[in-house]
């Protein structure tokens, strides 16, 4: 979308002052994100605008309904508890001029606007155990703050999002079709997925068999969906809330383990750099439990380590499926990007397997 069109849609939101700049922003795989700068009677303020990926979120109105409820709940809690800087600790939706939490462009797209949270940043890889601890704490707190969200239930914004069985069905379909004749490039990854199918179902089975409870969770807690405060390097605000819906807390812990404990980036091509960093894992879990211990039950704790392997496997499978289907889902920046991402996830699973016992001892140590 060119700049002119972008300013047109941005003009639909209830923002005062002169627009001085718009630019593309962020590195997410799903939505299109822009940042705008305004002169409001001499003060400079910034906003975040996003075109919601309408192919993936087929009911953007329901997504926004969830986001409003969740962000208001957290903001209200922080405000009434006197938490300093509360307006930077949850996203604030800026309504359109007609009062709706979204605006539509002339091409049928759905847009939303948030206050831009200043003096914060995101990271794709972890630099220190302290950073890992803060990220864990941030997601534990987010889940805790939402544990008393009043009914009704949040909408399911993507059906069966982490349902491994359904993800496997789609993978086998893509493999049968092999529409782009790409399976030959991914033989060993396909074999890995086949061999490990059963163990991949453990979280979903535990949910379906009611061994662990449904809770409100984020469902997409890769580390760059957490804004970090420049002031103290602590987790400041959990963003990218499109998938906040009922699930298990372990989906969130699992995606944190996948991204925070990996010593390399999600799409690292040099697989010798991919490692399951035990020090990061320990600090992450410690930080997460410092908040989540208040509500987790033993059956959830039992699956803590497994959650990391499980979510890593689901991501490997989803990247591979998208590669076979022709890269329709994830944004790519090179031809085999999705295959590279899949390979990194598999390398990480293998490192987790290798360090399983030591990691399990850490779980026991932290939960005794």
Residues interacting with ligand GN1, by CB under 6 A?
Answer: 28-30, 56, 220, 222, 225, 240, 242-243, 266, 315
Instruction: Give the integer Cα–Cα distance in Å for 217 and 77.
Output: 17
* φ and ψ of 85, to 5 deg: 65, 30
**Structure tokens belonging to residue 105:** 């462009």
Query: Per-residue x/- marks for ligand ADP, 112-151, CB under 6 A?
Result: --x-xx----x-----------------------------
Instruction: Give the integer Cα–Cα distance in Å for 9 and 109.
Output: 10
- Given the complex with ligand ADP, which of 204 and 227 has the nearer CB atom? 227
The piece of 23-31, 153-161, 255-263, 341-349 that touches ligand ADP (CB under 6 A) is 23-31
Q: How far is the CB of 234 from ligand GN1 (least distance, A)?
A: 20
DSSP assignment of 47-70, as one string?
EEEEEE-TTT-S-HHHHHHHHHHH
Instruction: Give the integer Cα–Cα distance in Å for 141 and 236.
Output: 11
Q: How far is the CB of 4 from ligand ADP (least distance, A)?
A: 22
Q: Which does 137 bind (CB under 5 to 8 A by kind): ligand GN1, Mg ion, ligand ADP, none?
A: none
Q: Which does 114 bind (CB under 5 to 8 A by kind): ligand GN1, Mg ion, ligand ADP, none?
A: ligand ADP
Residue 239 engages ligand ADP in binding (rule: CB under 6 A): yes
Q: Which does 25 bind (CB under 5 to 8 A by kind): ligand ADP, Mg ion, ligand GN1, none?
A: ligand ADP
Q: Which does 243 bind (CB under 5 to 8 A by kind): ligand GN1, ligand ADP, Mg ion, none?
A: ligand GN1
SS3 198: helix
75: Cα separation from own chain's centroid: 20
Instruction: Tell me the residue ranges of DSSP E strands in the chain.
Output: 18-24, 32-40, 43-52, 93-94, 103-104, 110-115, 120-121, 215-217, 226-229, 235-238, 245-247
Instruction: Give the integer Cα–Cα distance in Å for 25 and 35.
Output: 6
Q: How far is the CB of 162 from Mg ion (least distance, A)?
A: 16
Closest CA to 288 of 266, 269, 308, 264: 308
- Note the residues at the interface with Mg ion (CB under 5 A): 28, 225, 240
Q: Which does 91 bind (CB under 5 to 8 A by kind): ligand GN1, Mg ion, ligand ADP, none?
A: ligand ADP
Q: Which does 116 bind (CB under 5 to 8 A by kind): Mg ion, ligand GN1, ligand ADP, none?
A: ligand ADP
Query: Per-residue x/- marks for ligand ADP, 46-75, CB under 6 A?
Result: --x---------------------------
User: What is the Cα gyration radius of the chain?
Assistant: 21
Beta-bridged to residue 112, according to DSSP, are 50
> Which positions lie near ligand ADP, rule CB under 6 A?
25-26, 28, 30-31, 33, 48, 91, 114, 116-117, 122, 224-225, 239-240
């Amino acid at each position: 979308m060119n700049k002119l069109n972008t300013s047109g849609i941005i003009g639909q939101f209830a923002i005062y002052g002169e627009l001085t700049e718009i630019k593309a922003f962020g590195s997410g795989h799903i939505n299109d994100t822009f940042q705008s700068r305004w002169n409001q009677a001499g003060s400079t303020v910034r906003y975040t605008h996003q075109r919601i990926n309408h192919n993936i979120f087929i009911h953007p109105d329901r997504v926004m309904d969830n986001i409003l409820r969740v962000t208001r709940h957290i903001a209200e809690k922080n405000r009434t508890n006197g938490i300093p800087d509360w307006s930077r600790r949850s996203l604030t939706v800026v309504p359109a001029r007609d009062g709706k939490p979204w605006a539509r462009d002339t091409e049928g797209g759905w847009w939303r606007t948030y206050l831009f949270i200043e003096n914060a940043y995101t990271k794709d890889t972890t630099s220190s155990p302290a950073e890992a601890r803060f990220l864990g704490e941030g997601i534990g707190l987010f889940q805790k703050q939402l544990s008393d969200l009043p009914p009704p239930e949040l909408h399911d914004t993507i059906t069966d999002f982490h349902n491994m069985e359904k993800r496997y069905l789609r993978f086998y379909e893509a493999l049968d079709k092999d529409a782009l004749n790409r399976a030959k490039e991914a033989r060993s990854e396909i074999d890995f997925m086949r061999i490990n199918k059963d163990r991949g179902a453990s979280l979903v089975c535990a949910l379906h068999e009611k061994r662990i409870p449904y809770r409100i969770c984020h469902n997409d807690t890769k580390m760059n969906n957490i804004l970090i405060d420049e002031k103290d390097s602590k987790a400041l605000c959990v963003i990218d809330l499109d998938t906040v819906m009922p699930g298990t807390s372990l989906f969130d812990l699992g995606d944190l383990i996948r991204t925070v404990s990996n010593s390399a980036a999600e799409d690292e091509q040099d697989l010798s750099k991919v490692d399951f960093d035990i020090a990061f894992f320990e600090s992450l879990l410690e930080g997460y439990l410092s908040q989540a211990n208040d509500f987790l039950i033993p059956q959830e704790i039992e699956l803590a380590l497994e959650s990391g392997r499980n979510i890593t496997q689901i991501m490997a499978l989803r990247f591979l499926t998208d590669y076979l289907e022709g890269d329709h889902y994830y944004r790519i920046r090179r031809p085999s990007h999705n295959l590279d991402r899949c390979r990194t996830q598999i390398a990480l699973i293998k490192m987790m397997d290798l360090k399983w016992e030591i990691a399990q001892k850490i779980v026991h140590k932290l939960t005794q």
